């Protein structure tokens, strides 16, 4: 979670509490807004290591675009009603975040730390589910992954014994591969 300034603290506190309550691990980078861009750049690698980044900013909301340009993961932007003058109680930050040219930035409502945390939770949950599905597959024919539990058959021509035929389940095949890799 990344915040622009100290005035964004209450919304950040809400987002962090909700994210933790849903089981997410939260790393916080506070007061790293574009007014002191060097502070953001100093922690850019740590931010980029996250699966999803929640960016909380008021005023002109530029932090969401800056972070979106630095990381290759989804960015959930939360505009806040902080600021003065033309900040218009968060409308300026909301519109700036919605028109960000950085790819992969989604925007929730003004001051919605809850909405930002839930969006991050859903994105993370989806990524974990997809990763689990990939781990449950075993490579088969090119372009056609087999599922665990599926059957396989293999015939090999051995010069001294003729044709050897083996069959089993994909899960069992993975175990066979593990044994042969351990033997080498």
136-180 pLDDT tens trace: 775 554 444 444 455 656 666 666 666 666 666 655 544 545 444
Sorting pLDDT into bands at 50, 70 and 90, what band is 131?
confident
Q: Alpha-carbon distance 107 to 74, whole Å?
A: 11
Angle at 96 between CA 33 and CA 113, to 5 degrees: 65
Number of domains in the chain: 2
CA distances from 46 to 2, 17, 60, 66 (A): 11, 20, 24, 15
Single residue among 94, 110, 134 that ends a domain in this structure: 134
User: Are 157 and 108 within one domain?
Assistant: no
* DSSP tag of 101: -
DSSP bridge partners of 115? none
The half-sphere exposure of 126 on its side-chain side, counting CA atoms within 13 A, is: 8
- Which of 7-11, 22-26, 130-134, 175-179 shows the lowest per-residue confidence on average (mean pLDDT)? 175-179
State the pLDDT at residue 63. 97
Is 41:92 a contact under the CB 8 Å cutoff? no
CATH of the domain at 44: 3.40.50.1970
Q: Alpha-carbon distance 97 to 91, whole Å?
A: 10
DSSP bridge partners of 141? 144
pLDDT in tens, 17-59: 999 999 999 999 999 999 999 999 999 999 999 999 999 999 9
User: Are 77 and 45 within one domain?
Assistant: yes
User: Are 113 and 176 within one domain?
Assistant: no
Residue 52: which domain range?
2-134
- Which of 93-97, 123-127, 130-134 shows the lowest per-residue confidence on average (mean pLDDT)? 130-134
Q: Alpha-carbon distance 56 to 33, whole Å?
A: 9
């Amino acid at each position: 979670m990344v915040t622009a300034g100290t005035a964004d603290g209450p919304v950040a506190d809400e987002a962090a509490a909700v994210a933790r309550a849903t089981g997410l691990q939260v790393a916080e980078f506070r007061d790293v807004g574009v007014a002191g861009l060097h502070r953001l750049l100093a922690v850019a690698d740590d931010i980029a290591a996250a699966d999803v980044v929640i960016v909380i900013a008021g005023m002109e909301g530029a932090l969401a675009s800056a972070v979106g340009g630095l990381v290759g993961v989804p960015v959930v932007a939360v505009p806040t009603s902080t600021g003065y003058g033309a900040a218009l109680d968060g409308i300026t930050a909301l519109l700036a975040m919605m028109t960000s040219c950085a790819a992969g930035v989604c925007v929730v409502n003004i001051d919605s730390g809850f909405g930002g945390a839930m969006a991050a939770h859903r994105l993370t949950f989806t990524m974990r589910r997809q990763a689990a599905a990939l781990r449950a597959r075993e490579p088969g024919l090119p372009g056609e992954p087999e599922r665990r539990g599926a059957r396989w058959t293999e015939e090999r021509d051995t010069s001294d014994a003729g044709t050897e035929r083996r069959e089993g389940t994909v899960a069992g095949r993975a175990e066979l591969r593990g044994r042969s890799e351990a033997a080498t």
